[in-house]
Amino acid sequence: SQTIHQWPATLVQPVGSPLSLECTVEGTSNPNLYWYRQAAGRGLQLLFYSVGIGQISSEVPQNLSASRPQDRQFILSSKKLLLSDSGFYLCAWNSRLAGMGNEQFFGPGTRLTVL
């Protein structure tokens, strides 16, 4: 079965510090990978998605970036965090295999607080 991991689970960082969040998927190959952010009491905002190694599509022009160095690894980064970067960061995947449906599955999330 497939599992998706994210770490760290929680993070408290000062304004202006760098960020690196990691997501890995097990039990599947060549998945589509996604980063979302959910601000307190708000909906899911798509930040980035990737259909393959090194292929990143950005949905929101901000001080965040994403990379996919390996097939099942997706990393979210920032050089300098802003207060507005606080939120619940969710990694998700869906299968690209024909006949597997379009269901998207989420990791456990990272709660980021920027002080």
Partner 1 sequence: QKEVEQNSGPLSVPEGAIASLNCTYSDRVSQSFFWYRQYSGKSPELIMSIYSNGDKEDGRFTAQLNKASQYVSLLIRDSQPSDSATYLCAVKKTSGTYKYIFGTGTRLKVLA
Binding site for partner 1 (CB under 8 A): 32, 34, 42-44, 46, 49, 51, 57, 59, 88, 90, 101-109, 111
Cα dihedral sign, 97-8-45-57: negative
- Tell the burial category of 4 from Cβ atoms under 10 Å away from its Cβ (0-12, 13-18, 19+): buried
Nearer to partner 1, 15 or 51 (CB): 51
Min. distance of Cβ 80 from partner 1 in angstroms?
Answer: 27
Which of 41/69 has CB closer to partner 1? Answer: 41
Least separation in angstroms between residue 88's CB and partner 1 is 8
Among the residues of the chain, which ranges form H helices? Answer: none
The nearer residue to partner 1, 26 or 59, going by C-beta atoms, is 59
3-state secondary structure of 83: helix
Task: Name the minimum Å distance from CB 29 to partner 1.
Answer: 17
Nearer to partner 1, 17 or 113 (CB): 113
Locate tokens 């507005």: which residue? 84
Taking the complex as a whole, the smallest distance from the CB of residue 35 to partner 1 amounts, in Å, to: 12
Residue 59: strand, helix, or coil: coil
Q: Which residues contact 41 (CB under 8 A, 6 or more apart)?
A: none
